[in-house]
Amino acid sequence: MDIRIYYEDTDCGGIVYYANYLKYFERARTQYLENRGLSVTDLMKAGRVFVVVHAEVDYRTPARYGETLEIETILSEVSPAAMTFSHVLRERRGQRLVAEGAARLAVTDGHGKVKRLDKQTVAALQSEPPEC
């Protein structure tokens, strides 16, 4: 998934504000789900709400206003009630490593109670996205 860096993403020095990387990773996770036919809205309606319980970012080089970044997202771990997504963020043109990170998400019922995913959803999470 590509992310274009706009002025609003940056600090006064034109460098991406550190917390925005977590937002980019969130977008990439949502796209990962949608690419596999899983709608966040539909999951929530079915009583399956993903809650981030741990997040980490390792900043390698600064991203700057006007650049386009590529985010590679993989599901690095999955269990019936939790999953971990890993992200690698690179500047698209030169492939410079910008950041790496991960987020562990628990599956809840929307009221904070841990809930298991059904086998069909786990299989969809682990599948390759269909080719366009």
The sign of the torsion formed by the CA atoms of 5, 96, 36, 117 equals negative
Q: Is 118 a catalytic residue?
A: no
Write down the catalytic residue from 9, 11, 58, 109: 11
Let me know: does 121 contact 38? Beta carbons within 8 Å. yes
Q: Which residues contact 42 (CB under 8 A, 6 or more apart)?
A: none
Active site residues: 11
